[in-house]
Structure 1
Amino acid sequence: MDVLDQLGSMREGKMSRRAFTKSLMAAGIGVATAPMLPRGASAAGQQGTYFTWGGYDIPELFGEYVEKNGELPNFAIFGGTEEGLTKMRGGYVVDVAHPCNSGVPRWISTGLFQPVDTSRLSHWDDVMPELVNVQGNVVDGKPYMVPFDWGQTSVTYRTDLFEVEGEESWDMLWDKRYSGRLGSLASGADAWWCGAIKAGVPLTDIASEDAFEKIAAAMREQRPLIRTYTDDTTTLEQALASGEMVAAMTWNSSAVVLKSEGVPVKFAKPKEGALTWVCGMMIHKDAPNLDRAYDIIDSLLSVKTGEFMINDYGYGHSNKKAFDAFDAATLEGLGLSKNPIEILEAGHFQIPQTQDWETRMNETFEQIKAGF
Structure 2
Amino acid sequence: MDVIDHLAAVRRGRLSRRAFTRTLLAAGVATVAMPLRPARAQSDGATFFTWGGYDIPELFVPYAEKHGAPPNFTTFGGSEEALTKMRAGFVVDVSHPCNQGLPRWVASGLFQPIDTAKLSNWGDVMPELIDLPGNEAEGGLPWMAPFDWGQTSVTYRTDIFEVEGEESWDMLWDDRYSGRLGSLASAGDAWWCAAIKAGVDFADIATEDGFQATAAALREQRPHIRVYTDDTTTLEQALASGELAAAMTWNSSAVLLQADGVPVKFAKPREGALTWVCGLMIHKDAPHPELAHDIIDSLLSVESGHFMIEDYGYGHSNMRSFDKFSEETLTGLGLSKNPLEILQAGHFQTPQTQEFETRINEEFEMIKAGF
Interval containing the TM-score (normalised by the shorter chain): over 0.9
The alignment status of 1:346 with 2:345, answered yes or no, reads yes
Paired residue type of 1:298: D
Which residue of 1 is the match for residue 37 of structure 2? 31
RMSD of Structure 2 on Structure 1 (CA): 2.3
Structure 1: how far apart are the matches of 2:32 and 2:50? 17
Shift of residue 5, structure 1, vs aligned partner: 3.2
Structure 1 residues 61 and 115, CA, compared in 2 at 3 Å: closer, same or farther?
A: same
Structure 1 residues 30 and 168, CA, compared in 2 at 3 Å: closer, same or farther?
A: closer
Structure 2: how far apart are the matches of 1:16 and 1:366? 34
Per the normalisation by structure 1, the TM-score is: 0.93
The answer to whether the 8 Å contact 2:255/2:333 transfers is yes
Show CA shifts across 1:234-275 (max 9, x none). Answer: 111111111111111000000001101111111000011000
Structure 2: how far apart are the matches of 1:358 and 1:27? 30
Paired residue type of 2:307: F
Structure 2: how far apart are the matches of 1:132 and 1:270? 28
Show CA shifts across 1:26-57 (max 9, x none). Answer: 64546244xxxx84xxx541x21111112111
Which residue of 1 is the match for residue 77 of structure 2? 79
Structure 1 residues 326 and 30, CA, compared in 2 at 3 Å: closer, same or farther?
A: closer
- Gapped regions of structure 1 (runs ≥ 5): none
Which residue of 2 is the match for residue 101 of structure 1? 99
Structure 1: how far apart are the matches of 2:127 and 2:182? 35
- Gapped regions of structure 2 (runs ≥ 5): 25-29
Show CA shifts across 1:89-115 (max 9, x none). Answer: 011111100111111110000100011
Structure 1 residues 9 and 318, CA, compared in 2 at 3 Å: closer, same or farther?
A: closer
Shift of residue 2, structure 1, vs aligned partner: 6.4
Give the secondary structure class of the aligned counterpart of 1:201: coil
Which residue of 1 is the match for residue 27 of structure 2? none
Give the secondary structure class of the aligned counterpart of 2:344: helix
Which residue of 2 is the match for residue 309 of structure 1? 308
Structure 1 residues 31 and 257, CA, compared in 2 at 3 Å: closer, same or farther?
A: same
Give the secondary structure class of the aligned counterpart of 1:143: coil
The answer to whether the 8 Å contact 1:26/1:234 transfers is no
The answer to whether the 8 Å contact 2:16/2:58 transfers is no
Per the normalisation by structure 2, the TM-score is: 0.93
Which residue of 1 is the match for residue 196 of structure 2? 197
Which residue of 1 is the match for residue 124 of structure 2? 126
Which residue of 2 is the match for residue 6 of structure 1? 6
Q: Number of matched residues? A: 363
Structure 1: how far apart are the matches of 2:189 and 2:260? 25
Paired residue type of 2:37: V
Structure 2: how far apart are the matches of 1:185 and 1:202? 21
The answer to whether the 8 Å contact 1:223/1:369 transfers is yes
Among candidates 62, 65, 69, match of residue 64 of structure 1: 62
The alignment status of 1:241 with 2:240, answered yes or no, reads yes
The alignment status of 1:179 with 2:178, answered yes or no, reads yes
Give the secondary structure class of the aligned counterpart of 1:76: strand
Give the secondary structure class of the aligned counterpart of 2:150: strand
The alignment status of 1:48 with 2:38, answered yes or no, reads no
The answer to whether the 8 Å contact 1:157/1:240 transfers is yes
Give the secondary structure class of the aligned counterpart of 2:277: strand
The alignment-based identity, stated in percent, is: 70
